[in-house]
Structure 1
């Protein structure tokens, strides 16, 4: 279903949010400046050949070096028989090899399947089989997970990389520390695997064949639970992502209204590149503006993160409420020089007012909150970038974006009335990969995406989220779906019934709480948590387990999560 082809909305003919736009920001985006993301990348590499593009652990790669490495990756994939449209998975943290693999795949005309490196074998197997991925680039730290599912997937090629690859001589030390000192690489054995450096070397002996990649071709399968618990691939086309890049670029101009645009900006990339927020706001926007992305492989290590942060002049900092809060509680962070900060963007989860106020007082740069989803590439709304006040809203619809608040029957509601936030614009996905029924559930006949979030629009056009329509739990910006947690819990032989809800958590926004009715009275909380840890990645695991003799149910026997939430 193509949202770009939709007719203008009849519900909000005057688009009241336009009157609140920053000066100079147009209502609509123009035609794409490139025919594909690969072409966008190549243009940037030609324009800013000597500028740093990505920096990791003290090593920078220029746009020229990135052009050479990505060409080798794309040529190698083509030499192995992969063709335009084939899906290739990328399963690694924020290291130089990540953007090299991603842009190499795109330049070869293939589709990137982003994979969370911390996925369990069960989660990985589903995503690989659903996408039909033929190859995977994986960090050796997670190769043991691939090994466990390889025989049950369509994977033909496994390319394994080490943390220190691309770091020169320093890389040997990094690899020794990672493997031998910190022991972060579990044993694995995939006889057919090829090393990343070998693929690069071999790829340089082949020409990269130029594929006729168009705007409607799928660039990424970005997996999400959507508004239900089944993990689905949001099919994001080159047009979707190029449009969102342009929308953000137009909005970004307001940030320079009172600050001179630096020659060669630095983006802080602490959010994982496999997440849609960092993919677009860091990687694509960085490349489009000839900027340098400072990659942080492990943002949970706050002391090391702050030490790295102190070495660079950062201009643009996308982050999450939890990250901002953790940084402010570090004394070394409080001693940094924040004078270079131009823009701090908060997304993924609600920015709390106390955190925003404390951040502004500490750094002098406000956190500007925005909103989006995997299905919208992701940004749909953002607060003004030329203002310092915290609005407590998710901002205004971006250029060429329409927001309509609708009731259960799909009728448009008046200003101030709470309903489901529905989104239409060129950044809205084409649908869920090979799931027409799921797509039909979330796309309206007139081309709006039903977000599952409940909110209202005020008279100035600002949108405020008040609740979620579904039972989704939001943990540090990641969606957790109760159905999946419950299904895993129910697979334990000692569990009779299970129900999962989200409970408030000062660190992660929400945490998962699991209610259990035991089949085996000897079942313990530790056993339930251990079982969940085997089958769910960390952020999905229940933090709390409560045993009950029965769970509240409707008259047809459906478990009532709302009663458990109190």
Structure 2
């Protein structure tokens, strides 16, 4: 069936219907173009230290040469990175990619159990970790394929004496670096020094080579690695760069990067797209410290910012934010979770700039739909399919539905992943025979080609833009001897969009909500932990015994 494309008529002037996904052979090819063009311009700033494109070139080459020359890694080997936004992140990421290797992004807040699954599943042979999370890596190494751990402190790229002071304060004053013992671990700066001894060989990287194994969950609760190729990411860079081209100016942008670069939204939108246009990425290491974040923003006349609804809401509710200089701000992009109308309207009132909503998935690298950048005000839509992208609404039988009808949103384009790592059955469940990716989101399209998310088909819970899969949470809580039955659902939350609520049938009458939460803290990263715990005599079930999560979601969240 032919796809009608009413959205093309809504494209702002100058936005092409198609992009050239083959203009660049790989992400390093894009990077090298930017290095030539913007060599002396600032590329990344963090904690008062700035690296130019030339310095990123030199340092990432050193890291690539270390991986190939010292560790003798082979093309396609996986290297895991476990750190928040800091200067080491772009150096390592670009180094890994230039070496023809695959980046495995790891959320640094993971517990040892979660990390171990990702290390074992990906087969990563090297892990680069910030000292703050070294003890988690130590606990997760056994049984993995890791042969080398590289450690680094937050201050390591800041120069002397500042770097040494930062590392000392974090460890001994703020007590944020627990002791760990990983034999044969090497420091990041020592790895760079070793890399200087080696020439970086010419590495042939093709479109189909995997650039990132980007882990995402599924309704089964098992985290799966989406295989994102160089072509997927280059295509998405081209699509997004074309989309924002009327608003941004090459070599003249400062983008605030507060969302973690290990998250696909920030990785592509900030780390890659804005690298392509020669921007300065202003890295925020801890955006949860809102007063500190606003203080950082006061130091710079930024032109762009990306974020999730909770981030924008947090800024708007932090004293001093409304006093910042927004004279150069032109682009505010929201994604990762639904943008709330009240937040968007307040953002426009305070900054004078429309908060433009976008939609994407890990599986689409991520951008699939974005609202026009010349949007006058928030419209409640996820926007239009980006260039070279088709979208449609299908029913349960795979039949395309007409305008206005609700069904599953399906996406097709060069940014759609190669598949899930070592999981052909899971891949076949989401990518059909015609190449359509089934998103699991229920949506409708209006007559102009704007798409609107209506509901989620999956039971997934979205906490501050991060996916939480009920089965994983339930499995962890069910490990407790005092629990008979457990169901996890998402309930509305003013701060995080949604929060995790547990409904539990007790086996041990003495079991308390605090015991449940303590167990969750040990086994689940922060955003997966329950905000609410409710005890019931029984759980609602279907006639085949399936727990009816929908009924639990519809009952009010009781504190506990």
Q: TM-score, normalised by structure 1?
A: 0.96
Counterpart Cα distance in 2 of 1:82 and 1:262: 35
Q: Which of residues 27, 30, 52 is equivalent to 2:20?
A: 30
Structure 1 residue 46, shift from structure 2 partner? 2.0
2:558 aligned residue: none
1:86 aligned residue: 77
1:449 aligned residue: 437
Q: Which of residues 129, 132, 136 is equivalent to 1:138?
A: 129
8 Å Cα contact 1:11-1:404 kept in structure 2: no
- Is 1:254 matched with 2:246? yes
- Is 1:163 matched with 2:154? yes
Structure 1 residue 192, shift from structure 2 partner? 1.1
8 Å Cα contact 2:464-2:496 kept in structure 1: yes
Structure 1 residue 11, shift from structure 2 partner? 4.0
2:9 aligned residue: 19
SS of equivalent to 1:152: coil
SS of equivalent to 1:27: coil
- Is 1:244 matched with 2:236? yes
5+ residue gaps, structure 1: 1-9
SS of equivalent to 2:167: helix
Structure 1 residue 255, shift from structure 2 partner? 2.5
Counterpart Cα distance in 2 of 1:54 and 1:472: 34
Tell me whether 498-507 or 168-177 shows the greater mean CA deviation: 168-177
8 Å Cα contact 1:371-1:380 kept in structure 2: yes
8 Å Cα contact 2:21-2:234 kept in structure 1: no
2:49 aligned residue: 59
8 Å Cα contact 1:76-1:199 kept in structure 2: yes
- The 5 Å alignment of 1:137-216 reads 137-169=128-160, 170-216=162-208
Q: Which of residues 39, 54, 72 is equivalent to 1:49?
A: 39
Counterpart Cα distance in 2 of 1:556 and 1:372: 34
Counterpart Cα distance in 1 of 2:349 and 2:211: 41
Structure 1 residue 264, shift from structure 2 partner? 2.1
8 Å Cα contact 2:21-2:231 kept in structure 1: no
8 Å Cα contact 2:213-2:421 kept in structure 1: yes
Structure 1 residue 16, shift from structure 2 partner? 1.0
8 Å Cα contact 1:11-1:412 kept in structure 2: no
- Is 1:465 matched with 2:453? yes
Counterpart Cα distance in 1 of 2:124 and 2:202: 21
8 Å Cα contact 2:251-2:278 kept in structure 1: no
Q: Which of residues 91, 106, 109 is equivalent to 1:118?
A: 109
Counterpart Cα distance in 2 of 1:226 and 1:284: 26
Counterpart Cα distance in 1 of 2:379 and 2:222: 34
Counterpart Cα distance in 1 of 2:341 and 2:172: 44
Q: Report Cα offsets for 1:527-551 as digits up to 9, x if no partner.
A: 1011111111000011000111111
Structure 1 residue 227, shift from structure 2 partner? 5.1
Q: More relative contact order in 1 or in 2 (CA 8 Å, sep 6+)? A: 1
Structure 1 residue 437, shift from structure 2 partner? 0.3
SS of equivalent to 1:18: helix
2:511 aligned residue: 523
1:544 aligned residue: 532
Structure 1 residue 33, shift from structure 2 partner? 2.7
Structure 1 residue 43, shift from structure 2 partner? 2.0
SS of equivalent to 2:246: helix
- The 5 Å alignment of 1:384-395 reads 384-395=372-383
8 Å Cα contact 1:254-1:384 kept in structure 2: no
8 Å Cα contact 1:229-1:483 kept in structure 2: yes
Structure 1 residue 557, shift from structure 2 partner? 1.1
Counterpart Cα distance in 1 of 2:550 and 2:149: 44
Counterpart Cα distance in 1 of 2:194 and 2:325: 44
Counterpart Cα distance in 1 of 2:21 and 2:550: 46
> RMSD of aligned C-alpha atoms?
1.0
2:548 aligned residue: 560
Q: Report Cα offsets for 1:230-281 as digits up to 9, x if no partner.
A: 210000000000000000111112335xxxx374211110000000000000
SS of equivalent to 2:33: helix
Counterpart Cα distance in 2 of 1:528 and 1:548: 14
- The 5 Å alignment of 1:407-446 reads 407-446=395-434
SS of equivalent to 1:255: coil
Q: Report Cα offsets for 1:29-84 as digits up to 9, x if no partner.
A: 12433211112112211221111110000100001111111001001011211111
5+ residue gaps, structure 2: 555-560
Counterpart Cα distance in 2 of 1:31 and 1:88: 26
